[in-house]
Every structure is written in structure tokens, then in C-alpha cells.
A and B are shown apart, each in its own frame.
Chain A
Amino acid sequence: MATALSRLALLQPRSLDDALRRLRDEGPLVPLAGGTDLYVAFHFGTVSARRFLDLQGLRDLRGIRRRGESLVIGALATYTDLIRSPLVRRRLPILAEASRWVGSPQIQNRGTIGGNIANASPAGDALPVLAVAEATVLLGSVDGERRVPFSSFYTGYRQTVMRPDELIVAVEIPPVEGRQWFRKVGTRAAQAISKVVMAAVRAPRPRIALGSVAPTVVRVPRTEAVLAGGGTLAEAQAVLMDEIQPIDDLRSTAAYRRRVSANLLAQFWSDTARPR
């Protein structure tokens, strides 16, 4: 264990209000939800923070429910919660599907949707789903709630619009019209960080989002426009390969990621060719 955990402080707020007050008055604090990212960073000794805010006891961050036409998923919902939720399976089945591809059952039992958003990895498996669902991130602070469209939540590699005194409270998902599609490509089925991950919705204006091909999870509006305008699949593939900006890293190469992204686009297009 590279980080001496016994010397770190954990604040345990009694309520969401208490947590938000402490974030403002006693910061800087790093929120701790399921710990599946934070403890890996502890292991590698890459955490400089000394003080942490435990979210585990905050009931206001739990639950998956309907609010009007929308689905509201509390930040502490685990991947297992998402897989099992009848509401998620009915309204956004690709979120349940993406959750099944996260890590392993052990990770799915601990990792949370709020943590996946906050960790801001371009490879986060649930994030392309939130992008095509045009989700809204609900941020809490002592000043009240701030609603940020998912498409403008990330500003760069591992950078978000969140202030240090803000907490992800929930994510709100409007009804999604059209056929949903998801696929993750990794080295193996389980315990793999994606080489490319894609979520898409087949609708008159198709929606397509990818992970691990740019500094953040991205929608590809130019590719979507080609398909919406009746362009051919080959045209859309060419645009897609130009629109994404993958890199070479230890998991894969830029060239492989471009090729696979184009292949996934073709698979999405043929899998969803006829309405179910």
C-alpha cells in the first residue's frame, strides 16, 4: 500500500446539507463513494489529498426513480443497482448493459454512477450512454442545485465544470426515443479498461457517443449529421475516423481505435436497421 491510509482523515456528514456545508467550510475535501477508483490510486500512491468526505451515509444520493417524464438516478447508485433496476432496464437498457461490462461483480457491487462521472475518465463505460441519452448532471452546493448538460460537463482530459464545493447529487435522463445500442471493446470481457466503447441511438437524428477515442467521452455530431442526412455508411465511417482523436497508449493504438470505431459504427447501423 503506497499511501499510508491510517494518517488520512475521513469526515462523515450526517446529511446532504451537512456534507455540502463541510465541502464549503472545511475543504478541500475529496468525496468518497464506492472507492473503486480512489483505492486504486491509493495503491499506486498518486493521491495527494489528506482529507476525504464520506458519501456512503447520505440517503439523498440514493435511489432510482421517475420524476415527471425523466428518470433520476442518485449518484450513489451502484452498477449492480443499475443492472437490477426495472426502471433502468425498461427506459435505458443500454445503461444496464454498460454496467454489466464494468470490471467484475465485485466492482459492480461497489462502483457508483456518480463516481464514474466524477472520475472523468475518457474510458468510463457508463459515460457514452449518458452522452447519447442527453443526461443532465445535478450538482449540489450550499447555494442550491445546478443543472449541467452532460455534453458540457467535461472541459478536457479529467477536467470537469465542477467547483470544489459541489457534489454530484444525481443524473437526470429524459425519455430516449429510438433503438438503443451499446458495445465495449476491451482485451477481455471482464476487468478490462475499454480500447473503444460506443453507445448509440437509432432515430431520425441518430446519436452516437464514444469513449477512449478522445480526451473526454465524446458525441460525434458530424458523423451523426451524415447519417441523419441520408449519407452512406461508408461516408459516415470516413467522417467518424476523422472526427475522433484517439491516441496510442498502453491499451491500444490510435490506428486500431479508428478502425474499430468505424467497425462499431457499421455494426450499430446493421444491428438497428429494422425496428424491433
Chain B
Amino acid sequence: MRFVLNGKRADVAAPPLKRLLDVLREDCGLAGTKEGCGEGECGACTVLVDGAPVNSCLVPFAHVRGRKVTTIEGLRGRLPETFVREGGTQCGICTPGVLMAAAALGPRPTSARVREALAGNLCRCTGYAGIVRALAGSRAAPHPRVGAARGRRS
């Protein structure tokens, strides 16, 4: 089945109801997308489909046919450095999902907008203050501009 993965054409054979999360990790070798709860509560598995954040643990692979899928490996920009500087990352499990959920925000979002955009992302370290600080008003606000994945893994 064909779709666009991080800006590159992809053709992957996988069962239609397999979770997009598992296709990304197992069939595409992109392990940056994490599984937290597996039931759409925690947001750790957030990826973009046609620019919109979704929980990849709840998306059947068949539903991305012909669509653009963006994972943490395809996110470009300086946000990772901003996260390090502001202490936005602690254990790191929630971080890829947080960055992808935030990717739907425009530049220089208010902290209220950041909190709303991240309503579906749980940080088990409860490090929300650093996350919001890294995103709110950030010049390096994430954007869904993507490049090809270069095998960056986490």
C-alpha cells in the first residue's frame, strides 16, 4: 500500500487493520514513535496524518492509503534544542508525541494554546512546565515541514 512517509513515497505491505503505530515501528523501522497506553489516552504515539495529529495506536494502516504521514523522524526545526534548553524532556517517552501534537500549532503560540494542543499528551514525569515553556512563544515553534527521514532513531 502506498503513502507518503516523512516526505518520501513509501510502499509497504501490511495487514489493513494493523495499527499504524506497529507498521511504523515494525515495517518501516521508525522506532521514534512510542507506545504508551495503546488506547488513545496518553498521546505518546502521536503522528501527523495530512498534517493533523492522531493517535497512531488507534489508526488502521488502511486509513493512510495515499496520505502524508509525518513521524518524529520527519520533523524539522530547532525545537529539539529548545526542549533541551528549557528542560522539556525528562524520561523522554512522551517527547516524540508531544512534539508531533505541538506541530499543529503555528509560530509563537500562547501557553493557553499550547496547553490545549497538548491536552491529549500525558507526561508521566509531570514535567509540563518545561514542555509549555519550550513551546509557548517559541520562535522555534514546530511546523509540519518535513524532510526525508535519515534513519534518526530514538
Q: Give residues in A with beta carbon < 8 Å to B.
A: 1, 5-8, 10, 12, 32, 34-36, 39-40, 43-44, 52, 54, 56, 80, 103-107, 109-110, 189-191
Name the segment of B46-54, B68-76, B77-85, B139-147 touching the other chain. Answer: B46-54
- Contact status B120-A106, CB under 8 Å: yes
- Contact status B119-A189, CB under 8 Å: yes
If the complex has contacts A105-B53, A106-B46, A191-B41, are A10 and B117 also in contact, measured as CB distance less than 8 A?
A: no
A residues less than 8 Å from B63 (CB atoms)? 35, 54, 56
B residues less than 8 Å from A40 (CB atoms)? 39-40, 58
- Contact status A191-B39, CB under 8 Å: no
15 additional A-B pairs beyond A104-B121, A191-B120, beta carbons within 8 Å, are A10-B60, A35-B59, A52-B17, A54-B60, A54-B63, A56-B62, A103-B120, A105-B53, A106-B40, A106-B101, A107-B120, A110-B54, A110-B55, A189-B119, A190-B119
Cα A1 to Cα B45 with chains together (Å): 14
- Contact status B40-A39, CB under 8 Å: yes
Q: Chain B nearest CB: distance from A66 CB in Å? A: 26
Cα A191 to Cα B101 with chains together (Å): 15
Question: Quick one: closest B residue to A44, CB to CB?
Answer: B39
User: Which of A1, A52, A104, A190 has most B Cβ within 10 Å?
Assistant: A104
Q: Chain A nearest CB: distance from B56 CB in Å? A: 9
CB of B4 closer than 8 Å to a CB of A: no
Q: Can you give 12 A-B contacts (C-beta < 8 A)?
A: A6-B17, A6-B18, A8-B15, A10-B60, A39-B40, A52-B17, A54-B60, A105-B101, A106-B53, A106-B54, A107-B40, A110-B55
The 8 Å CB contact of B15, one of A5, A36, A43, A106, is A5
Q: Chain A nearest CB: distance from B106 CB in Å? A: 14
If the complex has contacts A104-B43, A105-B101, A110-B59, are A5 and B119 also in contact, measured as CB distance less than 8 A?
A: no
Cα A191 to Cα B121 with chains together (Å): 9
A residues less than 8 Å from B15 (CB atoms)? 5-8
A residues less than 8 Å from B116 (CB atoms)? 105
A residues less than 8 Å from B41 (CB atoms)? 191
Question: Quick one: closest A residue to B15, CB to CB?
Answer: A6
- Contact status B62-A110, CB under 8 Å: no
A residues less than 8 Å from B57 (CB atoms)? 39, 43
CB of B149 closer than 8 Å to a CB of A: no
CB of B31 closer than 8 Å to a CB of A: no
Question: Quick one: closest B residue to A108, CB to CB?
Answer: B120
> Closest 9 interchain pairs by CB?
A104-B120, A190-B119, A39-B58, A6-B15, A10-B16, A5-B17, A109-B52, A106-B55, A106-B120
Question: Quick one: closest A residue to B45, CB to CB?
Answer: A106
The 8 Å CB contact of B43, one of A5, A32, A106, A189, is A106
B residues less than 8 Å from A189 (CB atoms)? 119
Q: Chain B nearest CB: distance from A103 CB in Å? A: 6
A residues less than 8 Å from B16 (CB atoms)? 10, 12, 54
Cα A35 to Cα B20 with chains together (Å): 12
Q: Chain A nearest CB: distance from B120 CB in Å? A: 2
Cα A40 to Cα B39 with chains together (Å): 5
B residues less than 8 Å from A1 (CB atoms)? 19, 22, 38
Q: Chain B nearest CB: distance from A12 CB in Å? A: 7
